[in-house]
Structure 1
Amino acid sequence: MTQTILYARVSTSEQTLDHQRTQAEAAGFVIDEVIADHGVSGVTTALRDRDEGKRLFDKLREGDTLVVRWVDRLGRNYQDVTDTIREFMRRGVIIRTVINNMTFDGATTDPMQEAVRDALIAFMAATAQAQAEATKEAQKAGIAAKKDQAPQAYLGRKPSYDRKALDQVTDMLTQGAGTSVIAKAVGLSRQAVLRIKADPVHAEVVLGAWEGREA
């Protein structure tokens, strides 16, 4: 019996997971099961290396439909996303996205349709990676500018977060998680999360200054 499985990469909140399922169902999907990874960075962790991502690879069978909000949920970069989609298609799994209702199916044998499908997969994966890289570069530029303007301004009180915590907060904010949920998951005060949210570049510079001082 075939299944329709929603894979979500969420913060840690069941509410956030419910929101993703609600979005999928509102788009017309009938979901049989939800598989979700919590608190995992999609930028640094391949799908196969995520706890529930491994289970997804084990579970999907020919004829199943895999639903994701967008293709960036399936990997950490262009190569990872395209490899994952193609492997699932070779297995006979249909991949569908909530955003734009895209469908990727390996059943076609028409070479022209295959070419169009593969080009679209490549374009979407490349776009997702480009957007992530552009965000990182903009943040780096902002950090460098602030350091040049007032380097001593960032050597005040030591921040309450370390590198791992800052990365997790930033990732969860990108996914749309609430500040209270993030604070509880990461072990920071809500005020600390709000400060990071208000000025992530400043938060990065503060931490970088202290890392340099303690090196």
Structure 2
Amino acid sequence: MSQTILYARVSTVEQNLDHQRSQAEKAGFTIDRVVADHGESGVTTRLLERPEGRRLPDILREGDTLVVRWVDRLGRNYQDVTDTIREFMRRGVIIRTVINNMTFDGATKDPMQEAVRDALIGFMAATAQAQAEATKEAQRAGIEAKKGNPKKYRGKKPSFDRDQMRMVQDMLSTGAGASIISKETGLSRQTVLRIRDKPAEADAALRRWE
């Protein structure tokens, strides 16, 4: 009997995994089992190097569905993500994303459909890596600014937290509009636009209050 497994990941111990399951269930997924890694970076740690992620190849069987919020939960390294998705497809596992409801499987034998599917996988994996690199650069800028003036007034506390900012950036990278993102995250449209247009400032504001 096939099963639907949610793989969830957060990169710091302060973040919460619960919203990834609730978001999946809100999108209509019936989750049979959750496999989750807490405090594991998708940039520096491959899926098979994580305590729980490495169990997925043994857990998943042909016909099972692997659900992730977006491909960046599997990782933020282009090669790792594309290799992981293609290996699961070869095993007969279907991969589905909560954001944009994308489906990847190896059932099709039509070369044109395969080409479109593989191109989309590559694009999403590349976007995940590019976003991670942009976030690291913004964090470095925030750290340097803090070093230059450690007693600087922190300013108004941001109306969003780290998880919400990542969710906004994830959805922006898939082409979602500000209004849709506002509805999904519970943030105002103005806040979504501020994160979109000035990601470095948004990251720095969070760091001042963390």
CA distance in 2, matches of 1:145, 1:16: 28
In terms of Rg, which structure is larger?
Answer: 1
Give, as a single letter, the amino acid of the residue that structure 1 aligns with 2:207: P
1:93 pairs with 2:93: yes
Give, as a single letter, the amino acid of the residue that structure 1 aligns with 2:34: V
Identity of paired residues, percent?
A: 77
Q: What corresponds to 2:66 in structure 1?
A: 66
- Check whether the contact 1:94–1:105 (CA below 8 A) recurs between aligned residues: yes
- Check whether the contact 2:8–2:34 (CA below 8 A) recurs between aligned residues: yes
Shift of 1:101: 0.2
CA distance in 1, matches of 2:136, 2:42: 14
Change (3 A) 1:174 1:41: farther
Q: Which runs of 5+ in 2 are unaligned?
A: 152-160, 166-202
Q: What corresponds to 2:22 in structure 1?
A: 22
Q: What corresponds to 2:163 in structure 1?
A: 175
Q: What corresponds to 1:106 in structure 2?
A: 106
What's the TM-score, normalizing by structure 2?
0.68
Shift of 1:134: 1.2
- Check whether the contact 1:139–1:201 (CA below 8 A) recurs between aligned residues: no
Shift of 1:86: 0.5
Give, as a single letter, the amino acid of the residue that structure 1 aligns with 2:20: Q
Shift of 1:76: 3.3
- Check whether the contact 2:82–2:125 (CA below 8 A) recurs between aligned residues: yes
Shift of 1:40: 1.3
CA distance in 2, matches of 1:200, 1:21: 26
Q: What corresponds to 2:42 in structure 1?
A: 42
Q: What corresponds to 2:138 in structure 1?
A: 138
CA distance in 1, matches of 2:79, 2:139: 24
Give, as a single letter, the amino acid of the residue that structure 2 aligns with 1:125: A
Q: What corresponds to 1:168 in structure 2?
A: none
CA distance in 2, matches of 1:144, 1:49: 31
1:129 pairs with 2:117: no
Shift of 1:140: 2.8
Q: What corresponds to 2:83 in structure 1?
A: 83
- Check whether the contact 2:76–2:128 (CA below 8 A) recurs between aligned residues: no
Q: What corresponds to 2:207 in structure 1?
A: 200
Richer in helix (by share)? 1
Shift of 1:142: 4.4
Q: What corresponds to 1:182 in structure 2?
A: none
CA distance in 2, matches of 1:83, 1:36: 20
What is the root-mean-square deviation in Å for CA atoms of aligned residues? 2.8
Give, as a single letter, the amino acid of the residue that structure 2 aligns with 1:28: G
Q: What corresponds to 1:5 in structure 2?
A: 5
- Check whether the contact 1:2–1:64 (CA below 8 A) recurs between aligned residues: yes
Give, as a single letter, the amino acid of the residue that structure 2 aligns with 1:62: E
CA distance in 2, matches of 1:94, 1:135: 30
Change (3 A) 1:200 1:108: same
Shift of 1:199: 5.4
Change (3 A) 1:26 1:109: same
CA distance in 1, matches of 2:204, 2:143: 15
Q: Which runs of 5+ in 1 are unaligned?
A: 157-172, 178-195, 204-215
- Check whether the contact 2:4–2:64 (CA below 8 A) recurs between aligned residues: yes
Q: How many residues align?
A: 163
